[in-house]
């Protein structure tokens, strides 16, 4: 009987041992499954973080801050990707958008907050005076008063768009000039010839001064037509390899004389530059126009500097004056025909310069402040120098 009792005990023990092993195996499987899931989560988070940080556009996760009554306070950064951190030079997490962009209006910040509160996505172009940059921003709701903003810098694109608009205007005026310029000049030449004949006639001696005035005004009109014809896109140019320093040296005596007559000084800062391909006559006209504009912008006794240098495989010609600068509303439209700050100006001189630059495969950049204005004409170099 004792033997049977021991057998039953051994049987129960063996059964419990099997159950224990089964439970242990299940626990091990669950632990392995959880470890695999945890590893998958870590891998997924790592991949997400890598993607988040390596996308070239700025990405920010934000949260809407509301007061106790549900009124909008601001948006707070929760996380910013590597592109955003590099651009701002710091991690914005925990900062409010008003502290990062104080020049962005409350209305715009609230527009982005509504994305999280309503679930409606938003696409908006925003300009920051602090950064002097344009950005195209896409915002999407993440729920729980959170949203993501993806930002692409479009400052260069904006410049290209403005340049295209300016060129279209120039093309329109150029076509107009090519179409009617000669037709207007021909009758003016006839009228001028008759006026000169009247001047030599004794019967009109008492009107000599008046006739002179009329001829001077006809000549002024003829100069304006000449500028008009210079805007024609199809004007023939002879592009030849050469060094623009030689053009400046040849032109310098004339520039010195003009500076003296206008009560200014002109100086040169000639750098070591390679050759470019250009039309010498056209670039002479461009330099003369820019220098005259600089003289007119300065008070008496001002100094204008003509500078050339080589940078990043480009030959750059700078015309620097020490005038009061160009107003922003004019600066945005610079080069547009009939836009001028001069009382008796036509606004065609600089338009002609832009057209000449275009025909010579160059472009013009303008930097202006209260201390003066620098117009940079940028050419492609034909060769590299050390």
CA–CA distance, 327 with 257 (Å, rounded to integer): 29
Residue 177 CA, chain-centre distance (Å), reads: 30
Residue 19 has pLDDT above 80, yes or no: no
Is 345 a residue whose pLDDT tops 60?
no
Contact indicator for 361, 277 with CB cutoff of 8 Å? yes
Position 22 pLDDT exceeds 60: yes
Burial class (CB in 10 A: 0-12, 13-18, 19+), 351: buried
pLDDT at 320 over 90: yes
Q: Between 15 and 253, name the one with better pLDDT.
A: 253
Q: Is the pLDDT of residue 282 over 60?
A: yes
Lowest mean pLDDT segment, chosen from 53-67, 317-331, 340-354: 340-354
Q: What local confidence, expressed as pLDDT, does residue 358 receive? A: 87
Whether the predicted pLDDT of 3 surpasses 60: no
For the residues of 119-158, what is the DSSP string, one character each?
Answer: ---EEEEEEETTTTEEEEEEEEEEETTEEEEEEEE-HHHH
pLDDT of residue 270: 94
Residue 299 DSSP code: P
Q: Which residue has the higher pLDDT, 247 or 228?
A: 247
Whether 378 shows a pLDDT value over 90: the answer reads: yes
In this prediction, residue 228 has a pLDDT band, given cuts at 50, 70 and 90, of low
DSSP 231: T
72-80/133-143 β-pairing: unpaired
Which backbone phi and psi does 169 adopt, to 5 degrees?
-65, -45
Q: Of 185, 175, 164, 130, which is closest to residue 358 (Cα–Cα)?
A: 164
How many other CB atoms are there within 10 angstroms of residue 131's CB atom?
15
Buried b (16+ CB within 10 A) or exposed e, 148-173: bbbbebbeeeeeeeeeeebbebbeeb
Angle made by CA atoms 259, 262, 263, in degrees to the nearest 5: 85
How many Å apart are CA 51 and CA 56, to the nearest integer?
A: 10
Dist CA 381 CA 254 (whole Å): 27
| Average pLDDT of the segment spanning 322-346 | 70
Computed over every residue of the chain, the mean pLDDT equals: 82
Give, in order, the Cα–Cα distances in Å from 341 to each of 45, 330, 347.
Answer: 59, 8, 8
The pLDDT of residue 351: 79
What is the model's pLDDT at position 205?
82
Residue 202 pLDDT more than 90?
Answer: no
Query: 210 vs 191, 207, 312, CA distance in Å?
Result: 14, 5, 56
- Over residues 362-381, the mean pLDDT reads 92
Give 203's contacts (C-beta < 8 A, 6+ positions apart).
Answer: none
- pLDDT of 321 reads 94
pTM (predicted TM-score):
0.51
Q: Bigger pLDDT: 33 or 232?
A: 33
pLDDT for residue 196? 86
Mean pLDDT (whole number) for 158-164: 78
CB 348 within 8 A of CB 227: yes
Pairwise pLDDT comparison (284 vs 34), residue with the higher score? 284
Kindly indicate the confidence band of residue 118, based on its pLDDT and cuts at 50, 70 and 90: very high
**Residue 2 pLDDT exceeds 60:** no
Sign of the Cα torsion 85, 86, 90, 95 reads: negative
Range picked from 38-52, 95-109, 168-182 for highest mean pLDDT? 95-109
Encode 1-28: b = buried (16+ Cβ within 10 Å), e = exposed: eeeeeeeeeeeeeeeeeeeeeeeeeeee
Which positions ≥6 away from 261 have C-beta within 8 Å?
none
Q: In what order do the strands lie in the sheet with 372-380?
A: 265-269, 303-311, 314-321, 372-380, 363-369
Helix H or strand E segment including 46: helix 2-54
Closest CA relative to residue 306, chosen from 288, 332, 328: 288
pLDDT of residue 294 exceeding 80, the answer is yes
Tell me what the mean pLDDT of segment 250-264 comes to.
Answer: 90
Q: What is the pLDDT of residues 7-18, one digit of tens each?
A: 666 667 677 767
What DSSP string describes 156-187?
HHHHHHHHHHHHHHHHHHHHHHHHHHHHHHHH
Predicted confidence band of residue 130 (pLDDT cuts 50, 70, 90): confident
- The answer, yes or no, to whether residue 42 has pLDDT greater than 90, is no
From edge to edge, which strands make up the β-sheet containing 146-153?
72-80, 58-66, 146-153, 133-143, 122-128
């Amino acid at each position: 009987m004792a033997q049977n009792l021991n057998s039953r005990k051994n049987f129960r023990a063996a059964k419990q041992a099997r159950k224990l092993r089964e439970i242990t195996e299940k626990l091990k499987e669950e632990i392995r499954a959880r470890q695999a899931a945890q590893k998958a989560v870590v891998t997924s988070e790592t991949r997400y973080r890598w993607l988040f940080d390596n996308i070239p556009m700025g990405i920010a996760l934000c949260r809407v801050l509301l007061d106790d009554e549900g009124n909008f306070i601001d948006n707070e950064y929760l996380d910013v990707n590597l592109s955003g951190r590099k651009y701002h030079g710091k991690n914005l997490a925990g900062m409010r958008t008003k502290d990062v962009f104080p020049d962005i209006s409350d209305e715009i910040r609230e527009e982005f907050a509504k994305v999280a509160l309503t679930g409606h996505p938003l696409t908006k172009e925003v300009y920051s005076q602090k950064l002097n940059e344009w950005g195209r921003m896409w915002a999407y709701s993440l729920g729980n008063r959170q949203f993501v903003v993806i930002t692409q810098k479009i400052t260069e694109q904006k410049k290209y768009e403005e340049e295209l608009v300016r060129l279209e205007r120039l093309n329109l005026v150029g076509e107009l000039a090519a179409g009617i310029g000669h037709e207007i000049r021909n009758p003016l030449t006839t009228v001028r010839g008759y006026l000169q004949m009247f001047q030599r006639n004794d019967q009109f001696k008492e009107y000599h001064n008046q006739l002179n005035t009329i001829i001077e005004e006809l000549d002024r009109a003829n100069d304006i037509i000449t500028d008009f014809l210079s805007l024609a896109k199809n004007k023939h140019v002879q592009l030849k390899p050469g060094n623009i320093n030689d053009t400046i040296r040849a032109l310098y005596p004339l520039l010195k004389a003009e500076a003296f007559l206008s009560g200014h000084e002109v100086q040169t800062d000639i750098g070591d530059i390679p050759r470019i391909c250009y039309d010498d006559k056209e670039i002479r006209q461009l330099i003369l126009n820019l220098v005259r504009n600089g003289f007119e912008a300065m008070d008496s006794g001002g100094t204008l500097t003509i500078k050339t240098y080589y940078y990043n495989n480009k030959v750059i010609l700078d015309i620097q004056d020490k005038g009061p600068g160009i107003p922003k509303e004019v600066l945005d439209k610079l080069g547009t025909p009939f836009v001028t700050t001069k009382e008796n100006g036509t606004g065609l001189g600089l338009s002609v310069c832009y057209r000449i630059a275009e025909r010579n495969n160059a472009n013009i950049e303008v930097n202006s402040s209260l201390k003066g204005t620098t117009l940079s004409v940028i050419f492609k170099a034909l060769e590299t120098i050390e």
